Amino acid sequence: MKTLTSITMLILMASILSLNSCISMGAAMTMTKHNSNLHPIILIPGSGGNQLEAQLTSDYKPSSLFCHLHKGTGWFRMWFDPTVLVAPLTRCFAERMMIYYHSDINDYRNAPGVETRVPHFGSTKGMLYLDPNLKGLTEYMAPVVSSLEQLGYKDNQTLFGAPYDFRYGLAANSHPSKVGTQYLEDLKALIESAAASNNGKQVILMAHSLGGLFALQLLNRNSLSWRRQFVKHLVTLSTPWGGAVQQMLTFASGNTLGAPLVNPLLVRSEQRSSESNQWLLPNPSLFGSRTLLISTSNNKTYSSFDMPQFLEDIGFKEGVEPYKSRILPLIEKLDKPGVPVTCMVGTDVETPHRLVYGAGGFDAEPQVDYGDGDGTVNLISLLRLESEWSGSKNQVLDVIKLPGVSHSDILKDKSALEQIIRIITEINMEYVTLKE
């Protein structure tokens, strides 16, 4: 299981909102009139925000008889699979989701005998619900897509999806990152294809949570001329630009984020193995020397500068080297992309600010001290672009704060959807005005 956006999706209730509550009738009529002038949109999900399929080969060696389920049956949906909620099968799920760092190739790979693929790349189909059979419980992008469709957007024509294997992340440029780099290449090709099929109109990228980090990396790893030719605007929702304290809880004691019946210790190893989870640990350049975690069992305190020692002390020594060599250089600085950026963030929701582990050590749940944020990501991280890019003459940045809107509710909350539709409407009206 994943942190930040995956398990929270298990408890989302179906609530596709009417466009009539999001925009005025006049705006709706204007957009209908000019729907041939829509800038294509590519939706980029957050961690755990799309379906993931797997097949088990003869090299797969299950840890128990329970885990023989699906072996030799071909492709099946690994995420989301409701069997994860059944205790004997939770361990099976976790061992299949594990990825491993190989020092000899300086990169990550799946567990032996587990092959994975991301279905429906280019479409929003695999992002609407994590399990189409459990729509009410696993709804994700459905409310956003429904609202955009009422503006005239159509899947695979003007509206596209860019799902990915969210277990994998990226690394600093000097290090290989096969899966993450391939995703950026596929996303770039999708952007160019979407523009070409829409008369050369630039693409709007809309990304939730971790997806915003991928989107910014894509922009900054391509030339400024390419960005300005193909990308009209980047819209991010709840992106953790500098990581989150909650991620330390995930690494230390496992985190179900409210999923019923699941023992967090059974999924802890899988969560630790995730390359993208390391990417989301609190950023030293942002959180600094402030105490983020206290452990009374070993009489230690940890700040964002102490992540290597923290990883070793929780029993995840194998994560230290990739964190130091691959992640730290990646997160030091966020370069400005030179295309307009709008950040929507939730505020005024209790968010883990500091963790205190008692005599039970890291196998026990901590005491949590709360601060401001969206319930998952700390406010300082959500507003990192504002603090670092403000005043820049070469970067357009707009930050929209939504009091009381949580990390996942930003995809379905009425006020959030109103803002999304307003932003997209204004971007498209810019094109109409220039054309006329």
Can you say how many angstroms the Cα of residue 348 is from the centroid of all Cα atoms in its chain?
21
204, 147, 152: which is closest to 33 by C-alpha? 152
Catalytic residue among 107, 233, 407, 409: 407
Catalytic residue among 165, 374, 409, 413: 374
209 is catalytic: yes
Non-local CB neighbours of 227 within 8 Å, separated by 6+ positions: 219, 337, 338, 339
93, 85, 107: which is closest to 63 by C-alpha? 93
| Omega of the bond leading into 166 within 30 degrees of 0 (cis) | no
Buried b (16+ CB within 10 A) or exposed e, 82-113: eebeeeebbbbbbbbbbbebeeeebbbebbeb
Rounded CA-CA distance 127/105 in Å is 32
227, 233, 221: which is closest to 181 by C-alpha? 221
304 is catalytic: no
Rounded CA-CA distance 102/178 in Å is 12
255, 250, 259, 254: which is closest to 85 by C-alpha? 259
407 is catalytic: yes
Catalytic residue among 6, 147, 177, 209: 209
Residues known to be catalytic: 209, 374, 407
